[in-house]
Structure 1
Amino acid sequence: MQGKTRTELYKQFLDFITFEVQHERQKENRRLLNVFVWSFILPAVTSALLMILIKTGALPRAARNYLDWAILIFPVSFALYLLSAEVLTQIPATIKRGGIATELTQAAKEGLWREKVCEGMRRTIGSSASDWKWLTASFRIDLEKMHNRTRYLTALAGAVFYLILQGVDLLGDEPPQVAWMKSPMGWIEVSQNDFSQFIGLGLFLVLFYLSGSQTFHSLSRYLNCAELVKTTLDQNKT
């Protein structure tokens, strides 16, 4: 460990974060697989099986009326299971202890996660306090660049999609329906579909920005863990 440069230590630090993120993502992937199976695979198989049974005469043709219910029963059942397992079970504790106590319980779980990650960082990297100071500063710079890139891409996507929407309107066969709106500057010519386009564009940009920000905040948790490791080493040194 002593002979490694700070660049090598930083790469090792990033590799550790990558491994931890992939480990957490595997749990989410298993959950998404369950959602896909219950929401798409089982309804599709059930629908195909019922159609075959109806065509072969094993089921009466009146069973077609219940085909939609047979398709919906799987995703609805899975949604009710998730609701009861993750939300409804927390309601009695929330009522009994209060919302603040529930939030503090979640904070305690986050504390256990930080302790586990910090221990893994110290065991995997095991560098000095000055190196950890450099690692945290470098990672903070990269996270800020990532956040700025998300803002830039959001603005760029908004401009591109706005031009695409305007181009679609100009290339349309039907002339745009125009309305007049009164404003303090006078009467302004406004296309009737501009409002719906702006609403759709705004929702898309919000989702696009939140998606990038989620990655930023997820990686910020590891920056906080690195800060805790650096603080601990500083305290041990003094």
Structure 2
Amino acid sequence: MKGVWRELAGLVLPVDCAGCGRPRTELCAECLRALSRDGRGARRVRPWSVPAGLPRVWAGAPYADEVRAVLLAHKERGALRLARPLGTVLAGAVRGVGGGGGPLLLVPVPSARSAVAGRGHDPVRRIALAAAAELRRAGAGAQVLAVLRQCRAVADQAGLSARQRLVNVAGALAVPGAAGRLLAGAPVVLVDDLMTTGATLAEAARVVAAAGGRVVGAAVVAAPRSAFPVNGP
């Protein structure tokens, strides 16, 4: 219900740009360009220390300034209509991953149930659905398959080192029951809103592969500037 009330409020109350605060627009043209890195497309990114099992990861934009503000507005403040522009950025990252030209399964990294309840929505799943819709509009086969679940509590990742994050998420994800059968027969792209150390994506890749999925890569909306290639655009 929280998400519904936020959507209704957004229809009748003045809003400011989630990226820069410009009045009377939820996302201004300048911040939209920042999300898409001025039209230059997604880039392959790598954390400073690559965890074992991390697939190829593509990101749509550096996690800084307006991009950071927009992601936080969608995730923490319930600006749900931002899911579509964020999904467009994520779709660009999915295109970077590729997959052999066949239909893709986008498997979102799950949030804890308590986090979803507190926010009133699942931000990564919402962005993934928007990305899949964008890919289909462009003629690419894509659907979201939310089969990953958190099977135990994890600590807040903020402030943890790369090694501590690996320990924190080890064994924390699962594909329950017979859901693994749904993963067979199509390439899987793991999707998330943000990659920092890559620990969660590496664990997600391990679990999906163990369930029979064929992980061809991962796509995220944003990653730290340090993860982008030095000579990239």
- Whether TM-score is above 0.5 comes out as no
- The structure with the larger Rg is 1
Into which bin does the TM-score normalised by the smaller protein fall? under 0.3
TM (norm. structure 1) is: 0.21
Higher share of residues assigned helix: 1
